[in-house]
Chain A
Amino acid sequence: MPSQAESGLAWWLRRVGGTVVDAIVRLGYASRFAAAVLTHSGSAFRRFPLTLREIYFAGVLSLVIIIVSGTFVGMVLGLQGYDVLERYGSSEALGVLVSLSLVRELGPVVAALLFASRAGSAITAEIGLMKATEQLSAMEMMAVDPIARVVAPRFWGGVISMPILGLLFSTMGIFGGYLVGVKLIGIDAGAFWGQMQSAVDFQRDILNGVVKSLVFGAAVCLIAVFEGYDAPPTAEGVSGATTRTVVASSLAILGLDFILTVFMFRGLGL
């Protein structure tokens, strides 16, 4: 509430300033945390079974949602793409349209968005609850660093899973496009696959898509472990942190995607 001594404008300025300063402080704290995670990552690889377990929880348990969503997105792309391409008499290019959209954009981006809400939120909730129930503190008192033992394996498990999930999403999407285009609508299968093969470039399209997935995976996992580790040790604290993970990850994915796309595809005749 504005006090009498302060005009409405000054109050707003103070509020905006306070929010900005808080955000910068938090960002600094998050960067230091990120550095700590990276410097304590040795154990995630020296004791790979720890990371393998997290690959199972983050990656394997996300398979169903990735496979189902990928197939549906591909089928919808097939329908919409055919509707447009047919007007220009080039419906055989459907394979190109579906595969490029998926491999370059939809695969990495949508898979990462799904991953953030499926696995990212789970990582935050788990670490947050471990903190709230003093499990992390107990670990510290047992002379075991929770960043090395709990945080780093979850981070790397997610980073390793993400590109695989992204590729799987694209693959299922292309399969969905094939189902609609070839099986349902009746486009020539040879043209569908042949045009796709000659149009999709390994480095420019597939590799760049994998790089995007890796970057998104690192961003989502970093946000997820940070929010969990930083969560106030209460029920509201953990639930708020989980929500923030999904929101912040989604924004980060979309923002990073724009930046990466600018660097990867500018000047390639697009």
Chain B
Amino acid sequence: MTETTDDLVVLRELAFAYGERQVLHDINLRIPRGKVVGIMGGSGCGKTTILRLIGGQLRASMGEVRVAGEVVAELDRDRLYALRRKIGMLFQFGALFTDMTVFDNVAFPMREHTELPEEVIRDLVLLKLHAVGLRGAAQLRPSELSGGMARRVALARAISLDPMLVMYDEPFAGLDPISLGVVGQLIRRLNDALGITSVVVTHDVYESLKIVDYLYFISDGRVVASGTPAEVRSSTMPFVHQFVNGEPDGPVPFHYPALPLTEELMYAEPG
């Protein structure tokens, strides 16, 4: 894809390290407005890190992140917070506030950022919960929800302020097959109905191929492949092939780097 003003998020030559540990080397990717874009990669490849860079929770060591034309790292605190109000994020395990009911969780961003009267907030919250099919669960506590329900409540909370961008961190992880389909369809439906842009970070190729418009593959801190679902399905690239078919070994090795086993066993010292 080439850069246009239609891109809501642009990452250019992005590099990031946690201390000594270089996680991202050179990430280039664009997320066009109104689309659902998947970012795919194995566990620990830096997917969550990319979302935190987009949200300005982390700062890149090189390169830049642009959201809606603004360089995130250059924003001062007030403008960063203003930007974040327009971004919804679904955390990997929901990150619902455990000391509040489902209703109060969804109302939280509205109560913090708007002066709306409580009756209006009530109606808005019930609408959001209705959109994810959980209006009846408004008075439950997060501990009373199943994994799939918690994910949907978090989704309702993420869209509570009608964001322009919603980021999903592993929305499919740990869900049963039915919830999986429900969450996937919700992401697609909300994206199209509310005119938002969605980034779905996941290692679940199968589910994401069903809902995304475009897919990036990340390995070793770089984008190694990308394409539409149709292109990905027919791709002959070894990496994509391994990922799509779930083969244990290939370009992504099964073993964490280590000495050859024979060497390690022969020279092993006790203690």
A→B interface (CB under 8 Å) = 129-130, 133-135, 137-138, 140-144, 149
Contacts and interface: CB of A to CB of B under 8 A. Distances in A.
Interface of A is mostly: helix
Contact of A137 (B57, B87, B112): B57
Given A142-B84, A142-B112, A143-B113, A135 B98 contact: yes
12 contacts: A129-B98, A130-B97, A133-B93, A138-B95, A141-B84, A142-B109, A143-B81, A143-B84, A143-B112, A143-B113, A144-B108, A149-B112
B113 A134 contact: no
Contact of A134 (B92, B108, B109): B92
Contacts of A138: 89, 91, 95, 97
Contacts of A144: 108-109, 112-113
B169 to A, nearest CB: 9
A32 to B, nearest CB: 16
B237 interface: no
A133 B98 contact: yes
Given A133-B93, A134-B92, A134-B93, A141 B87 contact: yes
A141 B57 contact: yes
A149 B96 CA distance: 15
Interface string B69-97: 00000000000011011010101110111
A133 B95 contact: yes
B85 A143 contact: yes
A53 to B, nearest CB: 9
Given A137-B57, A138-B89, A143 B95 contact: no
Interface in B38-95: 55, 57, 81-82, 84-85, 87, 89, 91-93, 95
B75 to A, nearest CB: 12
B38 to A, nearest CB: 20
B87 to A, nearest CB: 7
Contacts of B84: 140-143
A190 B225 CA distance: 91
A141 B112 contact: no
B67 to A, nearest CB: 13
A142 B108 contact: yes
Contacts of B97: 130, 135, 138
Contacts of A134: 91-93, 95
A133 B89 CA distance: 15
B102 to A, nearest CB: 15
A135 B157 CA distance: 13
A31 to B, nearest CB: 21
B95 A137 contact: yes
A227 to B, nearest CB: 19
Contacts of B108: 142, 144
A137 B49 CA distance: 13
B82 A143 contact: yes
A182 B102 CA distance: 56
A134 B142 CA distance: 14
